[in-house]
């Protein structure tokens, strides 16, 4: 038997909120949904719920003890939500060392499965000064990155390094930025050359925020990178990267495009018929 449409909509919205790390919103939405569901099923003759019954809908605490009914639906997703949210928030506020530290502590397989695993320095989220980082090892790294998911993970982690360089340019001295670039932004893979060239150009400007490269310092860039990191974490945890809501939205766009195309074809057909008359 198919679940009621309200339950299906609830699950779609909850999946999207949890996927996007909107924990508090997800909890508030689920709590309100359950209350509304209770009121809709109560008959007119049934007295309103007592305080003790109502209390069952309240989360046990604000720090992550989730209501049992919600937790039972996808325990793994709830367990990972806090870790993903902490990581997302760290990137959004520009605290990249903290982001690397969270990855190392909560999702160590991401580091171990990337090209940075052998010489990873957990103290600052960067690699040690190791000869394996030299340009002479590009062929070996190409072999290592044959796996598509490994390649994507390594690429996103390198973007995090580039973002750390941007944050240094934003808040520290030019000397510190150059020192960081020399030590940690060596082009280990030909695909990374463009990334390095783009962010390194910030050094050339006295006021980067007023330069042609000011977009590199935007909050939107942080948010986009946080989304990319969230995606590789979801993939690492064997969770879907795209929600049902996103799939429905894309399907709606395709259907709308087809309807628009058919409408235009009908209009042209009608025009030809009128001309023929």
Per-residue model confidence (pLDDT) at position 277: 64
What gap in Å lies between CA 175 and CA 181, rounded to an integer?
10
Task: Give the pLDDT confidence of 61-107 residue by residue, as tens digits.
Answer: 444 444 444 444 567 777 789 899 999 999 999 999 999 999 999 99
- pTM equals 0.69
Q: How many CB atoms lie within 10 A of CB 13?
A: 18
Closest CA to 209 of 167, 177, 181: 167
Per-residue model confidence (pLDDT) at position 106: 92
Name beta bridge partners: 117.
none
Q: If you count them, how many residues does the chain have?
A: 277
CA-based torsion, 264, 265, 266, 268: positive or negative? positive
What gap in Å lies between CA 62 and CA 44, rounded to an integer?
34
Per-residue model confidence (pLDDT) at position 253: 93
**Higher pLDDT among residues 136 and 174, named by residue:** 174
Q: Say whether pLDDT at 116 is over 80.
A: no
Beta strands in the chain (DSSP E): 120-121, 126-127
Per-residue model confidence (pLDDT) at position 120: 55
Q: What percent of the chain has pLDDT over 70?
A: 71
Per-residue model confidence (pLDDT) at position 54: 39
The CA-based angle 180-186-190, given to 5 degrees, is 145
DSSP assignment of 114-148, as one string? Answer: STTSTTEETTTTEE-S-GGGSGGGHHHHHHHTTSH
Position 272 confidence tier, pLDDT thresholds 50, 70, 90? confident
Q: What are the sequence ranges of the domains in the chain? A: 1-42, 80-262
Task: Give the pLDDT confidence of 32-42 residue by residue, as tens digits.
Answer: 988 888 777 66
Q: Is 251 exposed, middle or buried (0-12, 13-18, 19+ CB in 10 A)?
A: exposed
Q: Is 269 exposed, middle or buried (0-12, 13-18, 19+ CB in 10 A)?
A: exposed
């Amino acid at each position: 038997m198919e679940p009621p449409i309200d339950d299906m909509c609830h699950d779609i919205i909850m999946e999207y909120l949890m996927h996007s790390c909107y924990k508090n919103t997800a909890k508030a939405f689920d709590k309100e949904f359950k209350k509304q569901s209770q009121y809709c099923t109560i008959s007119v003759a049934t007295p309103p719920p007592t305080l003790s019954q109502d209390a069952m809908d309240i989360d046990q605490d604000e720090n992550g003890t989730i209501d049992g009914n919600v937790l039972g639906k996808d325990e793994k997703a709830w367990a990972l939500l806090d870790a993903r949210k902490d990581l997302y928030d760290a990137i959004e506020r520009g605290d990249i060392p903290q982001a690397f530290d969270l990855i190392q502590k909560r999702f160590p397989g991401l580091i171990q499965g990337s090209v940075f695993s052998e010489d990873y320095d957990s103290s600052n989220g960067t690699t040690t000064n190791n000869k394996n980082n030299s340009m002479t090892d590009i062929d070996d790294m190409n072999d290592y990155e044959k796996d598509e998911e490994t390649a994507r993970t390594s690429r996103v982690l390198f973007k995090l390094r580039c973002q750390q360089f941007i944050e240094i340019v934003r808040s520290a001295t030019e000397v510190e930025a150059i020192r960081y670039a020399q030590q940690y932004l060596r082009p280990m893979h030909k695909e990374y050359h463009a990334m390095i060239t783009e962010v390194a150009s910030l050094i050339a400007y006295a006021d980067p925020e007023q330069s042609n490269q000011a977009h590199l310092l935007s909050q939107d860039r942080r948010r986009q990178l946080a989304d990319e990191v969230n995606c590789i974490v979801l993939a690492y945890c064997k969770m879907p990267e795209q929600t049902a809501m996103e799939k429905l939205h894309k399907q709606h766009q395709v259907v709308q495009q087809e309807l628009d195309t058919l409408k235009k074809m009908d209009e042209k057909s009608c025009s030809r018929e009128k001309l023929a008359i």
